[in-house]
């Protein structure tokens, strides 16, 4: 009987345990991608980027004598039909950890069991299964530093090799093509604006890792903080769709560390933050929806998605250059520098006193590297409601941050057209990307601040003290 390989966020041949195990015993393998109920709930940019990942992987599979079967519908129904059609007795997949995917996978497991077919989950998305990293007393870590210490003692094992060939079934089940246009239709901004910024596919991801290790790793420690500098790996986009394995990244970091390369330890630590996000998500599946610290439930955040302040933030029109540059970078590239993510999230939740969940959703709609665990933890960390979070009263001043991390103004000049006599290509690209309804014009004056930084800060601290008094 053939094995079905159900691909979701693991579009690679190398170090893909679910795929390697399917290929191992010489049975025919039927790779499947389903435009299912979880895919439909994704934000516009990640849904489109996922389609590109699947489309690229379909070509890779053809190169090893296989094919990607593409279907649309509820995963449970699609897989049940497919099992009946091809007589498979096993479906392999790499485990997913966010709530919607876990619910879906449980439902699929039950439906397949009724057909006498097993659903087998494999590791592959993470270094360590979330929940498996435990304190000496067997508890779960709530603070990153001890978690990081523990993770360093563990060995994630060696990557598994890529099969040279996947055995084809005697007859391929009926299939469609990955519908990139349909899956990308929700992009409010022009796909052709964002597309040039993408690095799609396993080959490109491997090159990216190599290039980072060779050319940027040594400066990573400091350059990673400068938003105008290409100082980081850029791998989040590929990690999100499994175009590169986290173990490959970890091994590259370890090798560099052994060679005494500076930057390697910090890079490994950042990879561990990704692990930590999934670790927290595992223990708190509501991470996207609920304050990890329940005492924040009563905080008087604005929840109005139509408010003037939130709209200005989304559109990059707050009148605060660092914030606006970052929000425009997000809109044009589908990415945002880490420091800029911290600044924009802090500004929204503190100066604009807006619920972090609104920001989380906007990012989830716009980021091509959207990750359910990293994004939610990032937001809760900045807002102060998360585990091991930055305290609420530590409010980033975007102007001071700008002086420190973009002293020449290169980042703001790159993304804000209105303040420049001769705006560059990227700043103008923003105006090509935005919907007409936003009514913005590169020739119009740069907006005044939505609220003065001092006033916004005082208001946030006042609300914070009020909450403390109420506790
Ligand atoms: P590098 O600096 O090269 O780091 C290598 C890898 O380590 C990254 O690809 C990522 O997988 C991991 N990593 C780095 N920093 C972090 C971090 N702070 N937390 C968790 N993992 C990290 N990351 C996402 O992948 N998807 C998101 O949706 C996301 N949303 C975020 C939202 C907010 C509000 C904040 C503050 C951070 C968010 N991050 C998110 C984390 C971080 O900003 C990105 O991982 C990083 O900017 C990606 O760029 P890079 O791949 O060049 O990172």
- Could you give the domains of the chain? 3-123 (3.40.50.620), 126-156+198-283 (1.25.40.80), 294-470 (1.10.579.10)
Helices 99-113 and 75-86 pack at an angle, to 10 degrees, of 30
Whether 54 and 7 have beta carbons less than 8 Å apart is answered as yes
C-alpha of 28 from chain center: 33
21-79 pLDDT, tens digit each? 999 989 999 999 999 999 999 999 999 999 999 999 999 999 999 999 999 999 999 99
Whether 75 and 37 have beta carbons less than 8 Å apart is answered as yes
CB neighbour list of residue 171: distance below 8 Å, 6 or more residues apart: none
Alpha-carbon span 381 to 388, nearest angstrom: 7
Whether 349 and 398 have beta carbons less than 8 Å apart is answered as no
Decide whether any atom of ligand 1 lies within 6 Å of the 43 Cβ.
Answer: no
Alpha-carbon span 232 to 234, nearest angstrom: 6
Alpha-carbon span 409 to 365, nearest angstrom: 28
CB-CB neighbours of 462 under 10 Å: 11
Residue 470: the pLDDT is 73
pTM higher than 0.95: yes
Whether 75 and 38 have beta carbons less than 8 Å apart is answered as yes
Residue with tokens 């880490």: 338
Whether 168 and 30 have beta carbons less than 8 Å apart is answered as no
Residue 73: the pLDDT is 98
Is 89 annotated in some ligand binding site? no
C-alpha of 199 from chain center: 14
- Which numbered atom of ligand 1 lies nearest the CA of 224? 2
Residue 26 region by backbone torsions, left for phi larger than 0, else alpha for psi between -120 and 50, else beta: left
Residue minimizing CA distance to atom 37 of ligand 1: 378
Cα 77 to middle of ligand 1, angstroms: 35
- Which numbered atom of ligand 1 lies nearest the CA of 381? 36
Cα 176 to middle of ligand 1, angstroms: 34
Decide whether any atom of ligand 1 lies within 6 Å of the 368 Cβ.
Answer: no
Vertex 21, ends 17 and 26: CA angle to 5°? 150
Name the residues annotated as catalytic.
270, 273, 301, 338, 356, 379
Alpha-carbon span 25 to 465, nearest angstrom: 63
Q: Using a CB cutoff of 8 Å and minimum separation of 24, what contacts does 153-156 make?
A: 154/127, 154/128, 156/127, 156/128, 156/247, 156/250
181: nearest Cα among 55, 62, 42, 314: 55
Residue minimizing CA distance to atom 43 of ligand 1: 338
Residue minimizing CA distance to atom 9 of ligand 1: 236
Residue minimizing CA distance to atom 30 of ligand 1: 375
Alpha-carbon span 281 to 102, nearest angstrom: 12
Is 220 annotated in some ligand binding site? yes
Decide whether any atom of ligand 1 lies within 6 Å of the 276 Cβ.
Answer: no
Residue 430: the pLDDT is 95
Tokens, residue 215: 């050319």
Is 235 annotated in some ligand binding site? yes
Alpha-carbon span 99 to 278, nearest angstrom: 11
Alpha-carbon span 27 to 3, nearest angstrom: 7
Whether 120 and 90 have beta carbons less than 8 Å apart is answered as yes
385-421 pLDDT, tens digit each? 999 888 888 899 999 999 999 999 999 999 999 998 8
- Which numbered atom of ligand 1 lies nearest the CA of 240? 25
Q: Using a CB cutoff of 8 Å and minimum separation of 24, what contacts does 55-60 make?
A: 55/177, 55/178, 55/180, 56/11, 56/200, 56/201, 56/202, 56/243, 57/7, 57/11, 57/12, 57/33, 57/201, 57/202, 58/33, 58/177, 58/178, 60/11, 60/13, 60/201, 60/202
The ranges of the chain with pLDDT < 70 are 471
- The dihedral through the CA atoms of 361, 365, 367, 370 has a sign that is positive
- The dihedral through the CA atoms of 291, 300, 340, 310 has a sign that is positive
């Amino acid at each position: 009987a053939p094995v079905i390989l159900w691909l979701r966020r693991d579009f690679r041949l190398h170090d893909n345990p679910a795929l390697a195990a399917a290929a191992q015993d010489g049975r025919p393998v039927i790779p499947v991608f389903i435009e299912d109920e979880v895919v439909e709930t994704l934000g516009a940019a990640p849904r489109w980027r996922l389609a590109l990942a699947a489309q690229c992987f379909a070509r890779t599979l053809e190169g090893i004598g296989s094919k990607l079967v593409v279907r649309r519908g509820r995963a449970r129904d699609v897989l049940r039909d497919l099992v009946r059609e091809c007589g498979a007795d096993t479906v392999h997949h790499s485990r997913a950890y966010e709530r919607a995917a876990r619910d879906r996978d449980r439902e699929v497991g039950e439906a397949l069991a009724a057909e006498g077919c097993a659903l087998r989950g494999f590791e592959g998305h993470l270094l360590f299964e979330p929940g498996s990293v435990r304190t000496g007393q067997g508890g779960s870590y709530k603070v990153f530093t001890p978690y990081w210490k523990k993770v360093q003692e563990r060995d994630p094992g060696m990557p598994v090799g890529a099969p040279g060939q996947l055995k084809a079934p005697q007859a391929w089940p009926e299939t469609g093509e990955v519908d990139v246009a349909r899956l990308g239709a929700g992009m409010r901004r022009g796909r052709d604006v964002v597309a040039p910024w993408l690095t799609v596919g396993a080959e490109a991801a491997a090159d990216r890792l190599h290039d980072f290790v060779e050319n940027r790793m040594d400066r990573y420690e400091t350059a990673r903080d400068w938003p105008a500098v290409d100082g980081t790996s850029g791998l989040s986009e590929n990690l999100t769709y499994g175009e590169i394995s986290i173990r490959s990244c970890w091994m590259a970091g370890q090798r560099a560390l052994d060679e005494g390369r500076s930057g390697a330890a910090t890079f490994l630590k950042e990879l561990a933050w990704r692990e930590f996000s999934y670790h927290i998500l595992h223990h708190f599946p509501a991470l996207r929806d609920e304050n990890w610290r329940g005492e924040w439930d009563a905080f008087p955040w604005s929840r109005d998605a139509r408010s003037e302040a939130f709209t200005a933030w989304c559109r990059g029109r707050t009148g605060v250059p660092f914030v606006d540059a970052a929000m425009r970078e997000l809109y044009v590239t589908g990415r945002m520098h880490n420091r800029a993510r911290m600044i924009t999230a802090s500004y929204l939740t503190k100066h604009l006193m807006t619920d972090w969940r609104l920001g989380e959703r906007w990012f989830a709609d716009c980021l091509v590297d959207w990750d359910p665990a990293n994004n939610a933890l990032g937001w809760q960390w900045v807002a102060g409601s998360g585990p091991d979070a930055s305290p609420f009263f530590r409010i980033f001043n975007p102007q001071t941050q700008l002086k420190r991390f973009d002293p020449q103004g290169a980042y703001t000049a790159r993304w804000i057209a209105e303040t420049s006599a001769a705006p560059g290509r990227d700043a103008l690209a923003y105006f090509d990307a935005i919907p007409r309804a936003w009514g913005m014009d590169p020739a119009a004056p740069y907006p005044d601040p939505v609220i003065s930084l001092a006033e916004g800060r005082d208001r946030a601290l006042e609300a914070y003290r009020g909450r403390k008094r109420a506790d």
